[in-house]
């Protein structure tokens, strides 16, 4: 996995990321046990974990940058790319899989034109799968912007996307 740093290019943007990260770090003690909660908070604020943020965190905890990077790439929760405006998480738990979650994932891929772990070029949607959200009884489930949607089959994928489109048209 390569670090995608297209987002943070100018020194100005880099400084901004550093400053935002430092703001969050103020609330934490300088021990490595806080690394995961720090990463969660920083990602919550920035949407992803840019290189500048990683370096800032490493400095704060007095650990090598590679240790921060290895933790980030170990856990599924952390992302190195900026997210889209809306997040689509297709559940691939056992019940969802057996009820066609993989078909639903295909439908999302087809409609959004992106693969798992990617963001649409217009930054509207990012698509990923999730191991299990524990709503097995509503299988197949897709979590759309933190809200679990039950029984999402290919036709409902179209319906959900239509709802976004209507929302967008209303605004413009």
Partner 1 sequence: MKVAELSAITSAFQEIKNRAELRWQTLYDSGKPVIMVGTATCGRAAGALEVLKAIRDELKRQNLDFPVIEVGCLGHCYAEPLVIISKPEYPPICYGRVNPVIAERLVKEFVIGDNPCLEFVLGALEENDLVPSFSDFPRAKYEKKVILKNCGQIDPKEIDHYIAKGGYSSLVKALHIPPEQIIEELKRSGLRGRGGAGFPTGRKWEVCCRAVGEPKYVICNGDEGDPGAFMDRVVLESDPHSIIEGMIIAGYTVGARYGYIYVRAEYPLAVEHVQIALRQARRLNLLGKNILGSDFSFDIRLFQGSGAFVCGEETALIASLEGKPGIPYYRPPYPAVKGLYGKPTLFNNVKTFAYVRHIINDGAECFASIGDERSKGTAVFALAGKVVNTGLAEVPMGTTLRQVIFDVGSGIPGGKHFKAVQIGGPSGGCLPESALDLPIDFDSLSDAGAMMGSGGMVVLDEDDCMVEIARYFLEFTQSESCGKCTFCRLGTKQMLEILNDITQGRGRIDDIDMLSQLAEDVIAGSLCGLGKTAPNPVLTTLRYFRDEYEAHIKEGRCPALMCRDLIAYYIIPEKCERSCDACVGTCTVEAITTNKKRIKVIDQEKCVKCGTCLDACPPQYNAVIKLSPPSEVPS
User: Minimal distance in Å, beta carbon 122 to partner 1?
Assistant: 22
User: Minimal distance in Å, beta carbon 52 to partner 1?
Assistant: 20
User: Minimal distance in Å, beta carbon 133 to partner 1?
Assistant: 6
Q: Where are the beta strands (DSSP E) in 45-149?
A: 86-91, 118-119, 125-130, 142-144, 147-149
Calculate ∠ Cα 142-129-158, nearest 5°.
40
Nearer to partner 1, 82 or 148 (CB): 148
Nearer to partner 1, 34 or 120 (CB): 34
User: Minimal distance in Å, beta carbon 54 to partner 1?
Assistant: 14
Binding site for partner 1 (CB under 8 A): 31-37, 39-40, 61, 67, 70-71, 74-78, 92-100, 103, 106-107, 110, 130-139, 141, 146-150, 153-155, 157-158
Longest dimension (CA), the chain: 51
Nearer to partner 1, 50 or 93 (CB): 93
Nearer to partner 1, 2 or 146 (CB): 146
CA distance 46 to 33: 21
Contact 118, 126 (CB under 8 A): yes
Lay out the sheet containing 147-149: strands in order across: 118-119, 125-130, 86-91, 142-144, 147-149
């Amino acid at each position: 996995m390569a670090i995608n740093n297209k987002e943070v290019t100018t020194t100005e943007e880099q400084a901004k990321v550093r400053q935002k990260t430092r703001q969050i770090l103020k609330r934490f003690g300088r021990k490595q046990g806080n690394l995961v909660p720090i990463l969660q908070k920083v990602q919550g604020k920035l949407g992803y974990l840019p290189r500048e943020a990683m370096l800032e965190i490493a400095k704060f905890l007095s650990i090598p940058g590679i240790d921060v990077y290895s933790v980030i790439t170990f856990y599924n929760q952390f992302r190195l790319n900026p997210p889209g405006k809306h997040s689509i998480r297709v559940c691939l738990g056992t019940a969802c899989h057996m009820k066609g979650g993989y078909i639903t994932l295909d439908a999302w891929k087809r409609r959004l034109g992106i693969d798992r772990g990617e963001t649409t070029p217009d930054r509207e949607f990012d698509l990923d799968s999730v191991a299990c959200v524990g709503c097995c009884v509503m299988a197949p489930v897709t979590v759309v912007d933190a809200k679990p949607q039950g029984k999402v089959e290919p036709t409902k994928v179209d319906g959900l996307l239509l709802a976004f489109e209507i929302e967008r048209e209303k605004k413009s």
